[in-house]
Amino acid sequence: MPSKKSVKDKKNTPTANAYGADQIQVLEGLDPVRKRPGMYIGNTAEAGLHHLVWEVVDNCIDEAMAGVCDTIKVKLLPQGTISVEDNGRGIPVEKHKVTKVSTLQTVLTTLHAGGKFGAGGYKVSGGLHGVGVSVVNALSEYLKAEVKRDGKLWAQEYTAGKPQKQVKLLGNAKGTGTKITFRPDATIFSVTEFQLKTILDHLRQQSYLTKRVKIIVYDERDQDKSRHLCYTFYFEGGIKSYIKHISQYSEQKHDNVFYIEKEHDNINVEVAIRYINEYNETLLAFANNIYNAEGGMHVIGFKTALTRTLNNFARKKGYLKDKDANLTSEDVREGLIAIISIKIPEPQFEGQTKAKLGNIEARSAVDKITSEALETFLEENPKDAEGIIGKCILAARARVAARAARETVLRKGVLEGFALPGKLADCSSKDPKNSELFIVEGDSAGGSAKQGRNRETQAILPLRGKILNVERARLDKMLANNEIKSLIIAFGTNIGEQFTIDDLRYDKIIIMTDADVDGAHIRTLLLTFFYRHFPDLIHQGHIYIAQPPLYRIQSGSDVRWVYSDEELNQARDEMVATKLATAQKSGQNKKSARVEIQESVTEPAETTSEEAAESDKNEIRLNIQRYKGLGEMNPEQLWDTTMDPEKRKLKKITIEDAEKADEVFDILMGSDVAPRKRFIQTHAKSAQNLDI
């Protein structure tokens, strides 16, 4: 039993379990942002860094949507600094009646402060939460705000979100507008270098969505002014121009782009449509210039209007007979490129990422405007109408054929106990979270992989030759291909409208091909297959590419596996340096040491330490083997270098820019040769590791 004294002492001693008022922290001002930046910008890596730019640009776009700004300038400056300037109204600088400090300082230092909450500031805006520029200020080691209003120029500087001085009048100025110059805090961000391409792609899209607004991007980071770059975006046609840009590499089914811009119930609706000779749908939806990756009510309204209007027109003109079934939503969206952009006074987004729009009124507005305008378009453009309806009817026939083929393939599998492909060497674990599938090129590599794998968690599916290019094939043709059929059955998810990701049998699906041109081609075909028919597997992080070593380098008993030419040079230098240092320590003449490098195409014989000791002590022998095929490795080597979870290198496949990815797949894998030829000619000089 403890003494009374010890009990008393214990009560008065703070413990790890103490929980009282003293343990409750109150973060004031912008401190919460610096404490938990991921809550506001997603992450502190490259995506979060660029999100700072988007927040400031969004304020400029809001001014443009309000009709008070027609030019936005973005400058990339030295030392990781960037400036964003517009010719809008300028942030007010007078004292705010609530905070008792300048309104400019209030906007820059207070979360949820801005002109987007009450009446009169903005009719529509992309920023819903009002945390944009204050978050940028909080996460910048330096920020300067300059405002032109009422013929005067005002400025204020900040460090880590803290104002250094009061707002200062610098003098007279022409025009109006706001300029924000900032340098992200290197103690918060893991990367601080802005990517020009990322900025250009985003601002090009914003320019399409905000027609007749000029966006100019300057790259002035190089000390040599002659290397400074300038890009200007200006699109008179808005999303109509955007549709033409997206479809430029594809065969078009009709000449004229359908486009409508109209307002209904205080909601401005813009819709553009074009059909191309492909099998996949590209639908981009925006609300107040914010991309809604998961769609929302405006997308539902569009799909409803599209299906109903095309069915009514097809029956009215005799394309569909009484005995024919209606076109489905899937039929009318095959080969469709559509952009929906609405401007709505009070958007209701689901989540901070604004991925989905919840306003019910957006559904009826888009439905009504699209229906009326599309009906008129089809009547006034009979040739375009014929191309569109013909494409949809062909898709309907293909759907019926694909369903029959799918039922033949997959239902037969169910009746037989869902028999897995005979060449699949499955793992013994039935827990998908612990299981992974290696898709291997050829029987030779497949044999090595089957012998070297962990049978408990690793399944092997060898492919014979190159799979079908699904960019040029419908589902019925795909299911007639044995390799694709094996893949679909092995995944367990089904395909198309019957796809269910919950039935996925493996947490990781790993593409493991040779490090040569044929291997790269097979990877591209497989990635096309996943991108077009299993995009959720990519989005949810299930698809990987294995990285087999390119070289085995040996010096005596020192054996290393390297995965690139850069690593090879480094390993070679290290081995030579080690040998020379050893020779010098043993009293040999360092300068007389001779380096002999042997290139081999077959597995070199292992050298024991005794043999190494007996060799010429002044001679350094390096044996380098280049591996072009996985089949050249024995099972143990394949496990050690490429399959062992403790040692291997995997690349996770992600889609950061779906529109750009879609365009690249169209160019590389589509039926039109000319764009592919231009792509190869453009990028030929930047290609590396060519096997000729």
Contacts of 463 (CB under 8 A, 6+ apart): 439, 440, 441, 442, 483, 486, 522
Distance CA 30, CA 180 (A): 18
Catalytic one of 334, 514, 632, 662 = 514
Instruction: Match 């607004």 to its residue by tokens.
Output: 213
CA separation (Å) from 575 to 74, 579, 597, 692? 49, 6, 12, 30
Q: Is 201 a catalytic residue?
A: no
Catalytic one of 367, 441, 471, 662 = 441
Number of residues written out for the chain: 692
- What values do phi and psi take at 546, rounded to 5? -75, 150
Closest CA to 545 of 505, 502, 515: 515
Task: Copy the structure tokens of residue 303.
Answer: 């799909």
**Rounded (10°) angle between helices 360-380 and 297-316:** 30
- What values do phi and psi take at 45, rounded to 5? -100, -155
Catalytic one of 201, 386, 443, 516 = 516
Partnered with residue 169 across adjacent β-strands are 154
375: how many CB neighbours lie within 10 A of its CB?
17
Cβ–Cβ under 8 Å, residues 513 and 461: no
Q: Is 22 a catalytic residue?
A: no
Kind and range of the H or E element at 566?
A: helix 565-585
Distance CA 139, CA 198 (A): 20
Catalytic one of 518, 574, 640, 672 = 518
Q: Is 516 a catalytic residue?
A: yes
339: how many CB neighbours lie within 10 A of its CB?
24
- With 0-12 CB in 10 A as exposed, 13-18 as middle and 19+ as buried, what is 144? middle
Query: Catalytic amino acids?
Result: 441, 514, 516, 518
